């Protein structure tokens, strides 16, 4: 490697150094801060904050709690920031049959939230999205460093 490009010979071994300029960083140029790169934990925090900025919806999560022979529904999260999304892995409502003009209400959407939010299979969720309330049943969460995601079987949509 040419001198001055970040690699130096030091007593028989080669040390790896960081790129000197943003242009040297190549695909990592967005992660450069000052003289070097941000740490992995800083990158995770930054990514989490960027994703959290897309949470324009609010959700209430209710869970059935079993105590002996009794069961009751309890609010486990209320007014949490989230994002309801229709993606390629979910589907749109479809007509009930060929003669029906009204679509079936049951369909699936994805729900994104902070990584510390835990959805359990069977949780009932009420999501406030653009002035409408989407009510459905959640799948278990799948977790990433930056967010958690679950699929919600939407059963009802009503105006706020």
What CATH number corresponds to the domain at position 84?
A: 2.40.10
Residues 132 and 78 in one domain: yes
Identify whether 62 is part of a domain: yes
**How many residues can be counted in the chain?**
160
Identify whether 100 is part of a domain: yes
**What gap in Å lies between CA 78 and CA 76, rounded to an integer?**
7
Identify whether 46 is part of a domain: no
Residue 16 has pLDDT above 50, yes or no: no
Residue 119 has pLDDT above 60, yes or no: yes
Residues 24 and 90 in one domain: no
Q: What is the mean pLDDT of residues 102-127?
A: 87
Instruction: Tell me what pLDDT residue 38 has.
Output: 78
Identify whether 84 is part of a domain: yes
Q: Residue 84 has which token pair? A: 């309801």
Q: How far is residue 85 CA from its own chain's centroid?
A: 10
Q: Cβ(22)–Cβ(15) under 8 Å?
A: no
Residues 62 and 14 in one domain: no
The CA–CA distances, whole Å, from 145 to 13, 63, 64 equal 35, 24, 27
Q: What is the total count of domains within the chain? A: 2
**pTM to 2 decimals?**
0.68
Q: What is the pLDDT of residues 21-71, one digit of tens each?
A: 545 555 555 555 555 677 888 888 888 999 999 999 999 999 999 888 889
Enclosing domain of residue 19: 7-38
Instruction: Tell me what pLDDT residue 99 has.
Output: 64
Question: Could you give phi then psi for residue 49, rounded to 5 degrees?
Answer: -65, -40
């Amino acid at each position: 490697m040419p001198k001055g490009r970040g690699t130096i010979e030091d007593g028989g071994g080669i040390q790896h150094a960081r790129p000197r300029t943003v242009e040297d960083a190549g695909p990592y140029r967005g992660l450069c801060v000052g003289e070097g790169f941000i740490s992995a934990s800083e990158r995770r925090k930054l990514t989490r904050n960027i994703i959290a900025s897309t949470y324009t919806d609010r959700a209430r999560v209710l869970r059935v709690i079993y105590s002996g022979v009794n069961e009751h529904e309890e609010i486990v999260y209320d007014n949490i920031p989230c994002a309801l999304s229709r993606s390629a892995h979910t589907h749109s409502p479809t007509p009930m049959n060929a003669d029906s003009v009204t679509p079936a209400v049951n369909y699936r959407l994805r729900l994104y939230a902070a990584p510390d939010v835990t959805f359990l299979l069977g949780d009932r969720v009420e999501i406030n999205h653009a002035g409408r309330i989407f009510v459905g049943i959640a799948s278990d969460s799948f977790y990433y460093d930056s967010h958690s995601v679950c699929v919600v079987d939407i059963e009802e949509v009503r105006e706020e």
